[in-house]
Amino acid sequence: MTLSIRNMRPEDYDAVVTLWQSAGLEFLANGRDQRERITAELDRPENAFLVGEIGGQIVASVFGTHDGRKGWINRLAVHPDFQHHGFAEQMVRAAEAIIEAQGIEIIGCLIEADNQASKQFFQKIGYNPKPDIHYFSKKKHPWT
């Protein structure tokens, strides 16, 4: 089974949302995950919004972004039927390559405290936990 990785296109939105839901990712339809917001992000050349396909079916996604100083891996998902084949690592490595090609040397990810599988995965591929860091956020709207 070979995974083909490419840039996400606007017409992929519904398939990516279905993927997220099947993989158990939270989906904020009225917030940051709105079609219009995702589509706008696709137009930003610094972003690495990628999908992985097998036989024309989208089975994986990852969103790589950066702020000019630090990169972020977001929305990593692999359909449950295609997990444990190394596809998550392929997706992360592809996003990392795009981010690093823009001169970014630090890449991080945020993982829910109870998501042990993701913690183990990211450690396995070279990410180090920062137990002394606490994440805070401020939201304009509760649904974002």
DSSP string, 81-107: GG-SSSHHHHHHHHHHHHHHTTT---E
The CATH class, in words, for 4-124 is alpha beta
Render pLDDT for 69-127 as a digit per residue (tens, 0 to 9). 999 999 999 999 999 999 999 999 999 999 999 999 999 998 888 889 999 999 999 99
Domain ranges (residues) in the chain: 4-124
Instruction: List pLDDT tens digits, range 4-25.
Output: 999 999 999 999 999 999 998 8
**Residue 144's pLDDT band (cuts 50, 70, 90):** low
Q: What distance in Å separates the CA atoms of residue 10 and residue 15, rounded to the nearest whole number? A: 10
Q: Where are the beta strands (DSSP E) in 35-141?
A: 48-54, 57-66, 71-78, 107-109
Q: Write out pLDDT tens, residues 33-71.
A: 899 999 999 989 899 999 999 999 999 999 999 999 999
